């Protein structure tokens, strides 16, 4: 059989990767559209900015257009801003900064459109401050919803299983994060506790500041799997499984047990863990 030409290999690889990217893009677009529509329904019903003089259908179209423009500007600014390490570590400040910046830009537009379409809203600084304050609140809420949804999607895309590295491969990056007292110990499990991770090892446990989804990405090279939204377990550490009518758990050394949620039970069963 002849070897596949480089062009055909590249084309096939591009086609294989295009579909997940397209699905992710569609998912993000649907998510943003859903947030915009839900927010527009709420703002239309509450008649914010004195728009109660118009029919609710007019108010709905007004808010959909305005929120869609704000969302596009927000995403464009966030795509640039979140590339800066300082802002990545401070999502709350990032959200506040974007809300203030976008509101400062959109406030004159909102005032002009409300006066033109609805014939309401007085002049002077009181109106400007009212619109600006309300716009900041709405922008903060919209940014927070997008940030939470994006984090949830990112967590959902985190790999369920990690695989042992080949002979001679460098150790997983995650092992470099172990505190000095745990270096060289066998890693049994990683458990999420709020914004921290508790590392369970043969030399005891310790906490480090990190997200579980990021840790799992760095654990590639160790044979293990996510058993719960808050747990990753090394396969070699599993000593057995306990089942009841309502829950499944894995027995680990040192009397430790790791829960198995329904979300991951099927994958673990197919991989021979259960």
For the stretch 155-203, pLDDT in tens is: 444 447 788 877 778 888 899 999 999 999 999 999 999 889 999 999 9
More reliable by pLDDT, 60 or 148: 60
Residues 148, 206, single domain; the answer is no
Q: Are 129 and 150 in contact (CB under 8 A)?
A: no
CA 49, CA 59: separation in Å to the nearest integer? 10
CATH of residue 199's domain is: 2.40.50.1020
Q: What angle do CA 195, 199, 200 make, to 5 degrees?
A: 140
* Chain-centre distance for alpha carbon 258: 24
For the stretch 3-51, pLDDT in tens is: 444 433 333 334 333 344 565 567 677 877 888 888 888 888 887 666 7
**Structural domain of 18:** 6-157
More reliable by pLDDT, 72 or 212: 212
More reliable by pLDDT, 9 or 132: 132
Q: Are 247 and 259 in contact (CB under 8 A)?
A: yes
Residue 218: count other Cβ atoms within 10 Å of its Cβ: 16
> Which residue blocks in 47-189 are alpha helix, DSSP H?
56-81, 85-88, 91-118, 125-157
Residues 115, 68, single domain; the answer is yes
Residue 64 lies in a domain: yes
Residues 54, 117, single domain; the answer is yes
Residue 264 lies in a domain: yes
Residue 118 lies in a domain: yes
pLDDT-based confidence at 83, cuts 50/70/90? very low
Residues 189, 137, single domain; the answer is no
Quote the pTM value. 0.46
Residue 92 lies in a domain: yes
Total domain count for the chain? 2
Residue 1 lies in a domain: no
- 161-162 and 231-234 strand pairing: unpaired
Residues 31, 81, single domain; the answer is yes
Q: Which of 134, 157, 180 is the last residue of a domain?
A: 157
């Amino acid at each position: 059989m002849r070897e596949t030409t480089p062009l055909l290999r590249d084309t096939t690889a591009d086609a294989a990767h295009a579909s997940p990217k397209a699905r992710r893009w569609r998912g993000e677009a649907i998510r943003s559209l859903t947030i915009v529509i839900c927010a527009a329904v709420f703002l239309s019903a509450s008649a914010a900015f004195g728009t109660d003089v118009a029919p609710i259908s007019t108010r709905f179209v007004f808010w959909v257009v305005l929120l869609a423009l704000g969302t596009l500007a927000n995403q464009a600014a966030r795509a640039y801003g979140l590339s800066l390490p300082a802002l990545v570590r401070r999502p709350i400040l990032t959200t506040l900064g974007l809300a203030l910046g976008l509101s400062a830009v959109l406030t004159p537009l909102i005032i002009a459109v409300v006066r033109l379409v609805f014939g309401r809203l007085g002049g002077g600084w009181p109106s400007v401050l009212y619109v600006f304050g309300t716009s900041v609140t709405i922008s903060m809420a919209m940014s927070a919803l997008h940030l939470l949804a994006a984090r949830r999607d990112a967590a959902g895309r985190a790999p369920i299983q990690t695989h042992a590295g080949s002979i001679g491969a460098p150790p997983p990056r995650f092992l470099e994060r172990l505190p000095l007292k745990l270096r060289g110990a066998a890693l049994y499990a990683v458990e999420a506790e709020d914004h921290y991770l508790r590392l369970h090892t043969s030399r005891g446990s310790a906490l480090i500041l990190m997200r579980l989804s990021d840790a799992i990405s760095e654990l590639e090279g160790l044979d293990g799997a996510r058993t719960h939204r808050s747990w990753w377990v090394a396969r070699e550490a599993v000593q057995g499984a306990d089942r009841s009518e309502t829950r499944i758990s894995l027995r680990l050394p040192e009397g430790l047990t790791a829960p198995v949620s329904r979300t991951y039970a099927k994958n673990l069963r197919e991989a021979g863990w259960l």
